[in-house]
Amino acid sequence: MITFRKAQAADLPAIVAMLADDPLGAAREDASLPLAQGYLDAFDAIDADPNQLLAVAVEGGEVIGTLQISFLAGLSHKGAWRGQIEAVRVASHRRSGGIGQRMIDWAIVQCRARGCNLVQLTTDKSRADAHRFYERLGFTGSHLGYKKSL
């Protein structure tokens, strides 16, 4: 049985390992222990912010998935709240089993519960599998996502 819950500090090594176990993540993350201080600081900032929800999917005590939801107030759409989903990962040995879909379904329930009337996310243009996945779940790829490193 898979359950979903807010992440705890003890989940952090498993979460970072999933972020690193990915073609894009491998080049930019460092899952070695003890974890770099940046990860610990970021966890504390997320954990302390009521508009951030870092979550894990757990089965039999093992963390097998993660995602982060940011609940964003904005004036657009007559003051609508948006849920923004980031950093979605499923443990490599559990992929293609429908866990990703259950995670997104769960995230959408959280967004509804917080009064959001829009859910948004971006994916790298190279992640063709992810595009098919989100389109199947009813997302529309209506936007271009721009980034600039500082």
In whole angstroms, give the CA distance from residue 102 to residue 99.
5
Which residue has 């757990």 as its token pair?
A: 58
Which residue has 């509804």 as its token pair?
A: 112
Q: Which of 1, 79, 93, 96 binds a second copy (CB under 8 A)?
A: 79
Q: Which two tokens stand for residue 5?
A: 């819950």
Is 33 a binding residue for a second copy by CB under 8 A? The answer is no
Cβ–Cβ under 8 Å, residues 80 and 117: yes
Q: Which of 13, 21, 25, 94 binds a second copy (CB under 8 A)?
A: 25
Is 73 a binding residue for a second copy by CB under 8 A? The answer is yes
Q: Which of 33, 60, 136, 147 binds a second copy (CB under 8 A)?
A: 147
Is 42 a binding residue for a second copy by CB under 8 A? The answer is yes
β-pairing verdict for 2-6 and 81-90 = unpaired
In whole angstroms, give the CA distance from residue 93 to residue 99.
11
Task: Enumerate binding residues for a second copy (CB under 8 A).
Answer: 12, 15-16, 19, 25, 28-30, 36-43, 45-46, 49, 51-52, 54, 68, 70, 72-81, 86-87, 108, 111-112, 116-125, 131, 134-135, 137-150
